[in-house]
Structure 1
Amino acid sequence: MTRLPGQPLTGKLTAAQLTGLESALRQMWAVPARQLPPRRYSRAEAYALGEAWFAQAVRPPGIAGQAVDAVRAFLREPPLPESGEAICGHSDPNLANYLWDGERVRIVDFEDAGRSDVAYELATLIEHLSARDTDWTGFVARCDVDAQSLRHGRILVGMLWLNLLLPGNKAHQRNPPGTLEAQARRLLDLIAG
């Protein structure tokens, strides 16, 4: 970035980077959020989009098709409401949107930000394709979120990623071969609980 110090986070995050990220996120989450509009792809929006997208999706063969079937079954259950206190959510946790200067993290790219909850924000971060190299277990434990709400959020976000990676959709061609199948396996594991 030319105006903010730091380099985009990438790959497996170090303990210092995770601490810096936690500090930056907690500052953002402390912003009064009750009056904010919902963030892009909120729980409710993700659920509604999933219903629409997977009702029309062509079932691919193999494990991706199994994941599509599992998503369709998941969407027959009622959605969970937002959980916990309303916070200002980022909504775009591509690690490139977190700038690390060696001491602290600065967050950029707020056009999708809005009202959310901590569990859903963590779910969005953990399930982002750019964040897959990091073990988030300790990070999540420091945030004291409801496990069911986190898992449900991860399934919703994982479902959105699965849709984007299906043949003919925008992320299919720009990701390496095998990404769709890896996402399908990950999502099936999440749904299985």
Structure 2
Amino acid sequence: MIKRYRSWDRREPHREWTALTLLAEHAPGLAPEPITADLDAAPPTVVMSRLPGVPLRGLRTGPAHVHAMAAALTRLHRAVPAASLPEPAAWTPAGAVAYARGWAAKRPDLGEDPRAAKAFAAGAAWLAGPDADRLAVNPFPPVLGQIDGNHANFLWDDDTAQVRILDWEDSGSSDRAFELAEVAEHISRMDGHLDGDGFLACLDLTVMEAARVRDFRRLLAFNWFVMLSPDGPFATRNPLGTFERQAERVLALLGAGR
């Protein structure tokens, strides 16, 4: 398969080639195998193998899918030694906190639904507290992160009951809790039935890690909420009612649903 990049200002081709090369060495079969690359062409290209399977996005998933996804991400996060990790990923916890706080300060148009106003107020109040500050500094060892939790990037292979991972163009050294929350809270969860809570329950998380994942879920849910708002960049990309459903998600995660 030949991948030609539409943009490369975040070093997308270099990031993808580096991640595929590392995974071919440390976790073969988890991602496409790198074949060749022309990283300085216009557009840059990476040639990689094709993977079997169907995307989890939109799939009616069950326990086997959830366990396989947890196993794939556990393997990913344990595979690459710390000394071999590449540059930081394109999307970071500090960047996500700053993004959310920028929207909280902006006070975007939320429409007329009172649930949206309540979700925004709850999220802004949480962002002003100490929990969000703590997310910017990782107390745990970094991992190789794919950083895009879109469920379309996870392929279910029915023959082997395994999940493999696509799309490494934003990848890099990352925070494991941030990565797991990305999968649990990506807006693609609405296009399917993957149980985020069930997925996280399959992982061997310490109490501290679980608390960190919980707070990243709150942060990322709020970010999706404001991005889906009438002023947000994704306002027209999703079916009617997505914004209202995301408001409910923020309220539930912050314990402000009543």
1:93 to 143, 149, 171: 149
Normalised by the size of structure 1, how large is the TM-score?
A: 0.88
In structure 1, what is the equivalent of residue 74 of structure 2?
Answer: 26
Mean Cα deviation higher: 1-10 or 98-107: 1-10
Counterpart-to-counterpart distance in 2, 1:41 and 1:64: 26
In structure 2, what is the equivalent of residue 177 of structure 1?
Answer: 240
In structure 2, what is the equivalent of residue 52 of structure 1?
Answer: 102
Normalised by the size of structure 2, how large is the TM-score?
A: 0.68
Structure 1 stretches of at least 4 aligned residues deviating more than 4 Å after TM superposition: none
2:138 to 82, 88, 97: 82
Quote the sequence identity (%).
37
> Is 2:91 the counterpart of 1:41?
yes
Q: Gaps spanning 5+ residues in structure 1: where?
A: none
Shift of 1:59: 4.2
Counterpart-to-counterpart distance in 2, 1:12 and 1:96: 13
In structure 2, what is the equivalent of residue 67 of structure 1?
Answer: 119
Q: Is the 8 A contact 1:39 1:91 kept in 2?
A: yes
Counterpart-to-counterpart distance in 1, 2:145 and 2:139: 13
Counterpart-to-counterpart distance in 1, 2:151 and 2:102: 28
Structure 2: which amino acid aligns with 1:37?
Answer: E
In structure 1, what is the equivalent of residue 189 of structure 2?
Answer: 131
Q: Is the 8 A contact 1:98 1:107 kept in 2?
A: yes
**Partner deviation per Cα, 1:110-151 (whole Å, 9 max, x = no partner):** 111122232221111111122242223343123232332111
**Partner deviation per Cα, 1:149-174 (whole Å, 9 max, x = no partner):** 11110011111101210103222111
In structure 2, what is the equivalent of residue 142 of structure 1?
Answer: 202
> Is 2:61 the counterpart of 1:13?
yes
> Is 2:135 the counterpart of 1:111?
no
- RMSD between aligned residues: 2.2
Counterpart-to-counterpart distance in 1, 2:252 and 2:67: 28
Q: Is the 8 A contact 2:109 2:231 kept in 1?
A: no
Which structure has more relative contact order (CA 8 Å, sep 6+)? It is 1
Counterpart-to-counterpart distance in 1, 2:74 and 2:240: 36
Shift of 1:65: 1.8
Q: Is the 8 A contact 1:159 1:187 kept in 2?
A: yes
Counterpart-to-counterpart distance in 1, 2:235 and 2:149: 19
Mean Cα deviation higher: 135-144 or 107-116: 135-144
Shift of 1:37: 3.1
Count of aligned residue pairs for this structure pair = 193
Counterpart-to-counterpart distance in 2, 1:151 and 1:131: 16
